[in-house]
Amino acid sequence: MVKLLEGKRPSDKIKYQVAKEVKKLDVKPKLSVIMVGNNPASEVYVALKHKSCKEVGMTSDEYHLPENTTQEELEKLITKLNTNPAVSGILVQLPLPKNLKTSRIMSLINPAKDVDGFNPVNIGLLTIGDKCLEACTPKGIMLLLEENKIPVEGMHAVLVGKSLIVGKPLMQMLLNRNATVTVCHSKTRDLKSLTSKADILVTAVGKAGLIKSDMVKEGAVVIDVGFSRIPDASTQLGYRIAGDVDFENVKHKCSWITPNPGGVGPMTVAVLLQNTLKAYLMQGGR
């Protein structure tokens, strides 16, 4: 019988713990969110991040910059936030407009305020298995596995997608827990031959229905991080959200599967709050 890897309960538990810690603090942790341009999906995510900060008693502010913001302007803002003692965490919502160099921006964020875990210092610390601020979505996936007592050691984890946001940091986290990890991407030949070997299959590419039931091993744990909007006139919004996995057909083969939405998404936000508190404490609190 397949079991659902739902994110709501474990993410509520994390938020409750963060809120309890924040309540004890005189000065509350503050998250500064930078968003450039008007990507509609990013606007939804950013609104959710502010709402979640409020729910746990943290403060947040937003720097919503126009699409034509220059590299220099963005760097100047980050430099200012890096040294502002009132700011505990800095988050630059991705993707950035094409004219901006994401890697340079990530490198500039103060590693102690890097609540996304995308600064090379934090990526390096994760790689050598040391304590650091860890990327929110992959950390959320690891917590989801842990919460449900799903073993990782010795398992063959196959990741579809090698992004900075999910695939690459998740690969490190799984290796640190002694999984055997295969990372697939758009240039991978014969994807099915690899996904069908996975004990744990994680997909994060944003291609609705990419993972079909014949690509999944009997008894696998399937984690769907994909996010696509599919036009659907029968819904109020005119679209529905779809993951990468053909859920209805794949679920019969799995031991565990994430619903999507409702699986990894809530965990990402909960880890962001956890990271903001951690960053605040790392900076010595106030």
Binding site for ligand GUN (CB under 6 A): 91-94, 116, 136-137, 165, 268
Q: Are 209 and 244 in contact, with CB atoms under 8 Å apart? A: yes
Active site residue 93: yes
Instruction: Please list the alpha-helical segments (H only) found in the chain.
Output: 8-23, 40-55, 71-82, 102-108, 120-127, 136-147, 167-176, 191-195, 247-250, 264-282
- Catalytic annotation on 278? no
CB-nearer residue toward ligand GUN: 52 or 137: 137
CB of 271 to ligand GUN, least distance (A): 9
The nearer residue to ligand GUN, 168 or 251, going by C-beta atoms, is 168
Which residue, 134 or 199, is less far from ligand GUN as judged by CB? Answer: 134
* Catalytic, out of 116, 199, 224, 244: 116
The verdict on whether 24 is a catalytic residue reads: no
Residues 16-22: contacts with CB within 8 Å, 24+ apart? 18/56, 18/270, 18/273, 18/274, 18/277, 19/55, 19/56, 19/57, 21/277, 22/56, 22/57, 22/58, 22/277
Q: Which of 30, 49, 162, 251 is catalytic?
A: 49
Q: Which residue is nearest to ligand GUN (CB)?
A: 94
> Strand 200-203 and strand 89-92: pairing?
unpaired
Q: How far is the CB of 99 from ligand GUN (least distance, A)?
A: 18
Q: Which is nearer to ligand GUN, 116 or 199 (CB)?
A: 116
- Residue among 261, 282, 283, 285 nearest 11 (CA): 261
Closest separation between CB of residue 163 and ligand GUN, Å?
9
Is there a contact between 186 and 143 (Cβ–Cβ < 8 Å)?
no
Residue 197 Cβ, how far from ligand GUN at the closest point, in Å? Answer: 28
Catalytic residues: 49, 93, 116
